[in-house]
Amino acid sequence: MQTNNTSGRRKFLLATGTAGLVFAVLPFAARTASGAEGLKVGIVGSGRIGSTLGTLWLKAGHEVMFSSLDLEQDKALAARLGGKARAGTPKEAAAFGEVVMIAVPYSAMPQLGRDLATSIKGKVVIDTSNPISGRDGDIATWAREKGAGLASAELLPGARLVRAFNAIGYARLTEISQRQGDRIGMPIAGDNADAIAVGSRLVRDIGLEPVLIGPLAMGKYLLPGTPLAGEHSAQSIREIVATLK
């Protein structure tokens, strides 16, 4: 069983690597890969993880729109950060972003998928949301049984989804991003080569090393309490993934 899974993951990595060469000829993917320009990132959910990542991406030269259920709070955050920070409603942030990051309680995902369906269709969407049973109820139980990556893809149809930033708590991200020497790894999962390229760039831009662990089906391991949770080197992440079924 483990040998078959490992073989499948190798085939997936080869397939996405080849696809990445094709996507690299497209303007957006080429710009993403080269880092020549900053990206427009719409953040839906500007709580702890959203505000932390948004701040780090601003420092990396990206343009960020923060959004949540509290527009005044987002305006204050954008004003405090200055530069390329701005604020809007979730629909405005989703429309604004070339890339959309979603960082909301998982119980909000079904309605969010309906509200933002038009805006996120065809866009790269970074899914940071974790289904927590004690907080999110039945939807979390369903998502964990299905696998968080596949569940999010079902709730956000039409998006080019990559699951990332689920392994390390927000409180550590700023400190880790400033570390010298070998980078801490950030496991990510996705089915779309362009989304993987964009997600990888955004991981590197905050000082971490992206490690593709496989397709969205592997997103079930990108949750607190799994072997991939916490801080690991990129090599350690690869070794852990090799043991997963």
User: DSSP of 154-169, one letter per residue?
Assistant: HHSTT-EEEE-S-SS-
pLDDT band at 6 (very low <50, low <70, confident <90, very high): very low
For the chain, the structural domain boundaries read 2-241
Q: Which CATH architecture has domain 2-241?
A: 3-Layer(aba) Sandwich (3.40)
What is the model's pTM?
A: 0.85
Instruction: Give the residue among 162, 161, 130 at the shortest CA–CA distance from 47.
Output: 130
3-class DSSP state of 106:
helix
> In this model, does residue 93 exceed pLDDT 90?
yes
Q: What is the mean pLDDT of residues 95-101?
A: 98
> In this model, does residue 19 exceed pLDDT 70?
no
Q: In angstroms, how far is CA 18 from the centroid of its own chain?
A: 22
Q: What is the mean pLDDT of residues 227-240?
A: 95
φ and ψ at residue 42, rounded to 5 degrees? -95, 120
Average pLDDT over the chain, rounded to whole? Answer: 87
Cα–Cα separations (whole angstroms), residue 65 to 87, 94, 96, 191, 202 = 5, 9, 7, 26, 15
Q: Residue 88: its pLDDT value, please? A: 98
Per cent of the chain over pLDDT 90 is: 77
Q: Residue 36: its pLDDT value, please? A: 54
- Residues present in the chain in total: 245
